[in-house]
Structure 1
Amino acid sequence: MTMEVKIGVQHVGRELSVETDESPDAILEGLNGALADGAVFSLTDAKGHTVAVPAEKVAYLYFTSESGRKVGFGLGG
């Protein structure tokens, strides 16, 4: 099941949005590992594209399950 992960980055006005097949537990494990190592947190989307952020700059992760593609105006995206 595809899920959308929104990544808040410190001192950046917009969040990053990534659709991925990874589980929330796997994503959190990756972030915790990157924080422990002082490394970069990376997440690969459903199409194979990778987003990378310095782990210490991640402000929050927000998980939402996808229930189909959103189409149209005024969806409060």
Structure 2
Amino acid sequence: MEVKIGVQHAPREIVIESAQTADEVKGAVESALGKSSELLVLEDEHGRKVMVPGDRVAYVEIGEASGRKVGFGTL
């Protein structure tokens, strides 16, 4: 699923493809925003970790899980 993270005082947002569920991402965001010194840590689908200071998170957009479409058949 696609996760977009807006960071304060940064001109661009962070976009990752995560294998985590929406509930896992939501839980990580809630725990990071609950404490000002906490880090928001998410893992992408390749196993890389993205860490953002919780007090710098402007917004988090959680997208829907998207299946990959293959082939030329009709939908």
The structure whose Rg is larger is 2
Q: Same fold (TM over 0.5)?
A: yes
Percent identity of equivalent pairs: 36
Structure with greater strand share of residues: 1
Equivalent residue, structure 2, for 1:64: 63
TM-score calculated relative to the size of structure 1: 0.75
Where does structure 1 lack aligned partners over 5 or more consecutive residues?
70-77
Equivalent residue, structure 1, for 2:45: 46
Equivalent of 2:6, from 5, 8, 19? 8
Equivalent position amino acid for 1:24 in 2? A
Equivalent residue, structure 1, for 2:73: none
Where does structure 2 lack aligned partners over 5 or more consecutive residues?
70-75
Q: What RMSD over aligned residues (CA atoms) do the two structures have, in Å?
A: 1.6
TM-score calculated relative to the size of structure 2: 0.77
How many pairs are equivalent? 67
